[in-house]
Every structure is written in C-alpha cells, then in structure tokens.
Amino acid sequence: EWAPIRVVDVQPYRGVVYSMGVDRYHHYVADGIVTHNCFYGWKEGAAHQFLGPNNAVDVWSIKKINPNKMVHLTEKPVELAVRAMQYSSRAGENVLDLFGGSGSTLIAAEQTGRKAFLMELDALYTDVIVQRWENFTGRKAERVTDTSVAVAEAVA
C-alpha cells in the first residue's frame, strides 16, 4: 500500500556516493566522483532500516557503461540499482523509479525479486524499457489499459 509524501526534509549529505568513473567533462562530476540525489521513504512512525552488510562502504565503485552501448543518455549500471535495492528493501517489496530512462531499475528488480513501478514521459524510452525487459526475461510484455493508465505487465 502506497502512502502519500507529505513532507520533503532537506538535510546535509551523509549517505552513499557511487563512482562510475565518468569522464571529468560532465558537469556533475567533482574530483572524479559522481553524486546522485535519491529519495528514500518509510512508513510514518516506522524505524529506518539498512539491510546491507555491516562492512558496507559509503563509496561504491561500479564500472560505468560503455558509452557506445548506452541506450539512454543518463543510463545507470544495473549493478548500482541492484546494490541499492539489496541495501534498502527485501525481495517482494515495491521499488519506485520516477525516471525510468533505460529500465535499469526494472532489470535490477527482476534480478532481486522486487516489484518495480516505473514512470517515463518519453515514449521512445518506454519502448526501450519494455524491449530491454523482454530481452532480459525472454517473456513478452502486454500493454494493459486500465482507467487510462498504460501498464506493461508480464505474460507467462
């Protein structure tokens, strides 16, 4: 069950930073480290939880995607989403990605047994996401229209 976000609290950074070895000419790279803001949510009154290993580090060294193989300008490695999911959720739980892009979150959810909910405004990339999911799973996606909302759903 989803609960609405009522308040966004901005606090000084003290979380995880991931490094993908992105070339320095990108404007969002400082000292060779790529930073990315993330929203985390939890149920009101519930404790925050970290499900990763006790020896987890704050900087994740993850190999970047070869630019010649990218299907989206800001594509993230699936390994990045896998690690974030494993550290913050359990198999069977929901994962939300409001910027679906290339579908890395969807593939990571498949790999880790999570239920992914993605949003993508660009129809070109919604097609990329569906094709990538079909290629990964070997299954065919079916477009289902329910109250004017298009949803890609797996067909066995």
What backbone phi and psi angles, to 5 degrees, belong to 127? Answer: -65, -40
Q: DSSP strand E in 13-79: where?
A: 17-19, 29-30, 33-34, 59-61
51-94 pLDDT, tens per residue? Answer: 877 777 767 778 888 888 888 888 888 999 999 999 889 999 99
Q: What is the pTM of this model?
A: 0.66
SS3 143: strand
Beta-bridge mates of residue 97: 118
SS3 141: strand
> Which domains does the chain show, CATH number per domain?
17-155 (3.40.50.150)
56 and 83 in contact (C-beta within 8 Å)? no
21-46 pLDDT, tens per residue? Answer: 544 444 444 544 445 545 556 677 87
